[in-house]
């Protein structure tokens, strides 16, 4: 469901989820890790018996959270009136994927370099698996934080936090245009009321030209893949989740176009030197004037 190539989709789900910016923060840091970071993660891993209990509770509280397909079917079946409006509101907050999809992305995409072999024959040694497990625990702990007990959150999050309590967090690789991306994210965190309204207006306009925008995003994703910038592009998307949430937009505003506008602009900046001018213009137009 999720992959680094489709990081904008994961970002769309996280930006609409309570606490999603915390999940994005864990993922962004995880994308910056390398072999030298595994020993610290392994040393921080908690007792397996505690993890089993915490994960059982994570599974319990997230089991009934629906995905977009189910919500779409409910909206289509709803009677006209209040039921239809309620179903449409549910669509704005329903995820395309779930926690299992995020964990799969972490284990097999974010930490693809910890696996030996290819396809179904790929294997991950026990030490690497336990180290990556600390990251997966942190993802689950932030993803389901509002529904977990304090004790379960501690089991899942304390090992991860203990690593970064004594070490400097890694610098995110945002690609060759990192300065431009960072400037946009900083601007989003400090939007003036007038800038907020301008971005909302630009988001409304880009919805009227869905096909050119979608094609430009596809081209940006393809450019990131061909230029081996998939990881910087994904890190930029996770950083964008945090910036947009800090900007204070409502969930309906984010679902209604603000996230797509910002996500597309960030995606374009990461591969701006490789995109055709028409694609670059389409994707960056909504944030023109912010930086």
From 51-55, 60-64, 72-76, 93-97, the region with the lowest mean pLDDT: 72-76
Alpha-carbon gap, residue 199 to 196, rounded angstroms: 5
Tokens linked to 186 = 């900083």
Mean per-residue pLDDT of the chain: 90
Lowest mean pLDDT across 44-58, 203-217, 235-249: 203-217
What contacts 277, CB < 8 A, 6 or more positions away? none
| Whole-angstrom distance, CA of residue 266 vs CA of residue 236 | 7
CB 209: neighbour CB atoms within 10 A?
12
| Confidence band of 94 (pLDDT split at 50, 70, 90) | confident
pLDDT at 88: 45
Q: Which residue has the higher pLDDT, 262 or 74?
A: 262
C-alpha Rg value of the chain to the nearest Å: 19
% of the chain surpassing 70 pLDDT:
89
What pLDDT, on the 0 to 100 scale, is given for residue 85?
46
Question: DSSP labels for 185-252?
Answer: HHHHHT--HHHHHHHHHHHHHHHTTHHHHHHHHHHHHHHHHHTT-HHHHHHHHHHHHHHHHHTT--HH
Alpha carbon 7 to its chain centroid, in Å, reads: 6
Strands (E), 28-153: none
The residue-averaged pLDDT of 81-106 equals 73
């Amino acid at each position: 469901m999720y992959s680094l190539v489709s990081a904008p989709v994961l970002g769309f789900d996280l930006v609409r989820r309570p606490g999603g910016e915390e999940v994005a923060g864990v993922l962004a840091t995880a994308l910056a890790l390398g072999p030298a970071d595994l020993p610290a993660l392994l040393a921080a891993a908690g007792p397996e018996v505690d993890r089993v209990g915490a994960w059982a509770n994570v599974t319990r509280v997230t089991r009934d959270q629906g995905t977009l397909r189910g919500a779409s079917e409910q909206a289509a079946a709803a009677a006209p009136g209040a039921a239809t409006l309620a179903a449409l509101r549910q669509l704005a907050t329903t995820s395309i994927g779930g926690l299992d999809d995020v964990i799969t992305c972490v284990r097999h995409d974010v930490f693809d370099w910890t696996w030996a072999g290819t396809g179904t024959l790929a294997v991950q040694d026990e030490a690497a698996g336990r180290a990556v497990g600390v990251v997966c625990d942190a993802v689950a702990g932030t993803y389901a934080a509002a529904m977990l007990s304090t004790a379960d959150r501690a089991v899942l999050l304390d090992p991860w936090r203990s690593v970064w309590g004594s070490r400097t967090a890694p610098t995110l690789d945002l690609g060759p245009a990192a300065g431009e991306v960072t400037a946009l994210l900083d601007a989003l965190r400090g939007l003036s009321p007038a800038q907020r309204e301008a971005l909302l207006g630009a988001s409304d306009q880009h919805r009227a030209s869905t096909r050119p925008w979608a094609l430009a995003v596809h081209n940006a994703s393809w450019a990131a893949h061909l230029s081996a910038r998939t990881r910087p592009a994904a890190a930029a998307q996770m950083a964008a989740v945090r910036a947009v949430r800090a900007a204070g937009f409502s969930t309906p505003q984010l679902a209604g176009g603000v996230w797509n506008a910002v996500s597309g602009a960030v995606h374009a900046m990461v591969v701006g030197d490789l995109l055709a001018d028409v694609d670059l213009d389409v994707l960056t137009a909504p944030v023109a004037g912010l930086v």
